[in-house]
A and B are shown apart, each in its own frame.
Chain A
Amino acid sequence: MTGRSFNWTHLVACLLVGVTAVLLSFGALVTTYEAAMAVPDWPGTYGHNLLLYPWADWLQGPWDLFLEHGHRLLGALAGMVTLVLAAVAWRSSARPMVKWLAMAAVALVVVQGALGGARVLLDDKTVAKVHACTGPLFFAVAVAIACLSRRSSEQGTRLSRLPVALVVASYLQLVAGAQLRHLDAAVSPSVFRGLVGLHILGAFAVTVFAVASASSVGIDGSLSSRRWSRGIVALVVLQLLLGLGAWVVSWGMPAGLVPESWLSEPLRARSVWSAMVVTGHVVLGMLILASSVVLAIDAGGWRAVTSASAAGSSSQSRAFA
């Protein structure tokens, strides 16, 4: 690293993280309101070029159109920022890992855009699920780039495997969640029961890894690792509550487990409150994934790997010891 010139890579990567967070939140809202087919054509919007669709129609049109078209505009923005990031990173003196990740981000954003298009053109729930799983993957990559492009003199310490396990678990948990959100109504109750079981198992795994990571970095991690890991535990606790909340606003109190009188009003389909709880649950899941990526890098994991690879060392296994 040259150290002196301005770190554009990091700046653009941070911008990408911000844009993607909003983009994914819109995506989650699109699913909550089942607005994916609010615009039947693609890549255009009702025959207009995506970017030229009249702003007034967009902002004053139906809520579903607002969400779907907004999601597309944000997607286009994220795509452009990713291209800029790749160009900046490639020409910078950033470590190879960052360059390759930036390339991966370009590939992902293209695939993700195409999946979004396929979801609309084929109107297919399976594609919708894949689209929902690729989004957080892209987010994780963007966060990783932002972290790894920081100029920091710290070098990797011994990597505990736990933060990496947490990254994997929280991603798989999002995958399981997407299966519940993009539920095909033709699926049988027993399949659904299996999916719910998987999601509960995933919640358990994420909780265990989050707590274990926190306690492991609590002993010999850096100050920022300790902060991140504790923050993640707090987010996971909140997420468990939101998960229960999402159940209640969707299907009511688990009958027999809690007194009927706890819910003094009938459920209300499409209330802002229920949409916020359910969408919040998805968005928080993505934030947990992103934070655990930061923690995994911060705790030394990928840094150890990249410094090893940059140095041409063949002993990658050492980093995971």
Chain B
Amino acid sequence: MTALLTPVAALGRGTLSLLALIGRITLFAIDTLSHLVRPPFYFKEFGHALLYIGYLSLPVVGLTALFTGGALALQIYAGGARFNAEAVVPSIVAIGMVRELGPVLGGLMVAGRVAASVAAEVGTMKVTEQIDALVTLSTHPMKYLTVPRVLAATLSLPVLVAVGDVIGIMGGYVVGVTRLDFNGAVYLSNTVDFLEFWDVASGLVKGAVFGFIVALMGCYHGMNSGRGAQGVGRATTNAVVSASVMILASNYLLTEVFFSA
């Protein structure tokens, strides 16, 4: 009997600890927001975070978008050809990029890059007592470490997404013109004509939410890192995994919201 119940008990324990984790992350997010609106604000840290999280993520996000846009054009052409609708390629590439793939893939790439490095950095600070040292030097770790990173990621991801959108569409354009015999001017005018304001805006909003998630997860797992190198390693993994899962889950929820609206 007990042997039969073991998996059930494990499932129960897993569920409980997952709920507890969600609770702790929610509290951490609220704490971050409450420190965001209270001085002092560390501008220099914010500047560094903006440079590292935003500017230095440009190549990763740009390359991802370029290849995705190209592949998307080929796929939609292949699909469209089945009912003689090849002409939809430009508009579907544009819509697919700006509404979905730009923010999601950009978010995931940034999750891999930024959540990992933030968690490793903050986690190392935690295990080498640098966070305790901050406290004794009258500097709140949430204000000094978390707020600048979360704010920088939330503000810079929409910009990265916007750049990614343009590059992705260009990727589709290059493939469309060189491989699929589209006329360049027609391709571009189709792209622009069918794109609506909300297509772009919803993608940028998604980007902001994903940026918030990425930096928050990096800081949360870093600050709660276990002891030693192993603890930091685990914190890094957890940060990337949870940021990625949360990006995909919130992407669905946001899409649902924008879809109904």
Do they bind each other?
no
Q: Which A residues are within 8 Å of any B CB, using their own CB?
A: none
